[in-house]
């Protein structure tokens, strides 16, 4: 099972992301709110992939990238940006007249 580390500061998007990964990929995911939290997590467990949010504060993604570049054991990790996600709702049914 792949180890996924996601950096998502928005709680609502975190819930959606966790559900999508669990349902679609059947993988576990660790979600943190900041680059510093992500770096601390990588000390304990090396992820297989890192997901970053488009909502990160300026410089947060570069902070993660710099940490990866400086680490000979982590410099190979793929870092992907999480696209905006929208909760799926049932389509409205058309009323017949």
**C-alpha closest to that of 74 among 94, 52, 45, 32:** 45
Q: Which is more confident, 65 or 97?
A: 65
Q: pLDDT tens digits for 2-32?
A: 899 999 999 999 999 999 898 888 888 999 9
Would you state the structure tokens that stand for residue 19, as one six-digit string? 């559900």
- Give the model confidence (pLDDT) of 36-91 as tens digits: 999 999 998 899 999 999 888 889 999 999 999 999 999 999 999 987 755 555 55
pTM of the model: 0.81
Contact 62, 37 (CB under 8 A): no
């Amino acid at each position: 099972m792949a180890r996924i580390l996601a950096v998502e500061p928005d709680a609502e998007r975190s819930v959606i992301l966790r559900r999508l990964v669990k349902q679609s990929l059947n993988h576990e995911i660790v979600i943190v709110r900041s680059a510093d939290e992500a770096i601390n997590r990588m000390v304990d467990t090396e992820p297989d992939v890192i997901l970053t949010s488009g909502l990160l504060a300026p410089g947060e993604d570069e902070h993660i990238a710099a940490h990866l570049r400086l680490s000979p054991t982590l410099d190979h990790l793929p870092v992907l940006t999480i696209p905006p996600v929208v909760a799926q709702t049932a389509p409205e049914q058309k009323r017949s007249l």
